[in-house]
Amino acid sequence: MTLHNVHSHHGGEEPELHHACLDALSRIQEFLHHELDDTTADVIREHLAACESCLDIFEVENAIAGLIRRCNPSPPCPGDLRAKISSMHVQVTHIRFES
């Protein structure tokens, strides 16, 4: 099932349900990669708990993402780059508190 035929999985039920599905599924990749703010992630989490069809789609997407991670692992970050990024984070945090 794809985002394009999500409406048919509810047999033409209420448009609000259809919109909730479209909203949740349009952000599913961001949800999978923990790129959403807590409030938006909670809305999607609640929808997935209530909608078995969308949960099925999420589980497929999650499985695919897991396979991709296993087949193409991220290279480790070199130590000097990690230190540089950490020092930049400390500097930015310090600047924010001074402003």
Contact yes or no for 61/32 (Cβ under 8 A): yes
What's the burial of 32, exposed, middle or buried (CB within 10 Å: 0-12/13-18/19+)?
middle
Task: Give the integer Cα–Cα distance in Å for 43 and 29.
Answer: 14
**Nearest 10 degrees: CA dihedral of 11, 12, 13, 19?**
120
Q: What is the pLDDT of residues 11-39, one digit of tens each?
A: 555 556 688 999 999 999 999 999 999 99
Q: What is the pLDDT of residues 45-98, one digit of tens each?
A: 999 999 999 999 999 999 999 998 889 877 888 888 888 887 876 555 545 455
Question: What is the pTM assigned to this prediction?
Answer: 0.59
Q: Please state the domain extents for the chain.
A: 15-98
